[in-house]
């Protein structure tokens, strides 16, 4: 998938990684960028087309697919983290919220846009995943559950859209310097670097990006006799 002349929809494009996606895609030659946001007044990027889009609201997802019928690249970036331990009283509620957005919202977007991408020649879907698709950490156990499920969903979507020639790229990353990790003291990748890697991977026809050293170590560690997911990571 070549970014030049592509027509893109980015979810959660008002801040963090999504904003970096919207800006860098334009710089890389995308012809049109729809910037989805729950409150599109907060987008503040020139040259994008603001789009009201809460991915957990089916009517907004349906409307986006109808209004953005020229999309050739869908970037499913929107996501939430609620934090907390797996046995907290609130854990099940947090997990439901995280699954609603990270898994079911992203799945709804893939489903709504698969026919659009197919009609436009195949195109591509990027799903923003995490190193926590493969390991859990005490402070974000339910988020890790949601990203593991979203990784599995991404694999299912990849198989479903392969016959129509749609590339599906899973983007796994550890800590990035965005609002989501404010207050976490750890080495962080910059959104710009992560998006640059993902664009290069898209253009090289790849299906997975491991955007930092920790993520690459964890992926490699899955196949060790004692898989890395058996021990606490942080
Ligand atoms: N930061 C990290 O270390 C890290 C690591 C691995 C993966 N990720 C993933 O990277 C993606 C981007 O995260 P980020 O770091 O940029 O986080 P962020 O700064 O917290 O931004 C999250 C974005 O998602 C949007 N969003 C949340 N729920 C939404 C919904 N229902 N519909 C539409 N938009 C929604 C937010 O919109 P509002 O402004 O309206 O809240 C915001 O634009 C997420 O999928 C996240 O899980 C982040």
Q: Is the pTM of the predicted complex or chain greater than 0.75?
A: yes
What is the distance between the alpha carbons of residues 201 and 184, in angstroms, rounded to a whole number? 28
Residue 234's pLDDT band (boundaries 50, 70, 90)?
A: low
Atom of ligand 1 nearest to the CA of 18: 16
Average of pLDDT values for 135-151? 97
Q: How far does CA 135 lie from the centroid of its chain?
A: 17
Cβ pair 75, 98 in contact under 8 A: no
> What are the chain's domains?
7-230 (3.40.50.720)
H runs (alpha helix) in 29-167: 58-67, 91-98, 106-119, 141-161
Ligand 1 pocket: which of 9, 10, 12, 127 to mutate (most atoms within 8 A of CB): 12
Mutational pocket test of ligand 1: of 16, 58, 100, 104, the residue with most ligand atoms within 8 Å of the beta carbon: 16
Tokens 């599995």 belong to residue: 152
Atom number in ligand 1 closest to CA 173:
6
Average pLDDT, the chain: 97
220 close to 137: Cβ distance less than 8 angstroms: no
At 232, the pLDDT band (50, 70, 90 cuts) reads confident
> With 60 as the cut, is the pLDDT of residue 186 above it?
yes
The predicted structure's pLDDT at residue 87: 97
């Amino acid at each position: 998938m070549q970014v030049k002349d592509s027509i893109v929809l980015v979810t959660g494009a008002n801040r963090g990684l999504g904003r970096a996606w919207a800006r860098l895609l334009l710089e890389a030659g995308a012809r049109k960028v729809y910037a989805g946001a729950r409150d599109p007044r907060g987008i503040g990027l020139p040259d994008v087309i603001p789009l009201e889009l809460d991915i957990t609201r089916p009517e907004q997802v349906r409307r986006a697919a109808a209004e953005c019928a020229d999309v050739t690249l869908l970037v499913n970036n929107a996501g939430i983290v609620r934090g907390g331990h797996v046995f907290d009283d609130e854990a099940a509620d947090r997990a439901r919220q995280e699954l609603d957005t990270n898994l079911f919202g992203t799945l709804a977007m893939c489903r709504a846009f698969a026919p659009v991408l197919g009609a436009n020649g195949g195109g591509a879907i990027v799903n923003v995943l995490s190193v926590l698709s493969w390991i859990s950490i005490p402070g974000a156990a339910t988020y890790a559950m949601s990203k593991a499920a979203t990784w599995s969903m991404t694999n299912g979507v990849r198989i479903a859209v392969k016959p129509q020639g749609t590339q599906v790229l899973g983007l796994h990353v550890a800590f990035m310097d965005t609002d989501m990790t404010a207050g976490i003291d750890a080495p962080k990748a910059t959104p710009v670097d992560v998006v640059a890697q993902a664009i290069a991977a898209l253009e090289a026809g790849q299906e997975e990006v491991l955007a930092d050293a920790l993520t690459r170590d964890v992926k490699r560690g899955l196949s060790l006799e004692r898989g890395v997911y058996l021990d606490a990571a942080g």
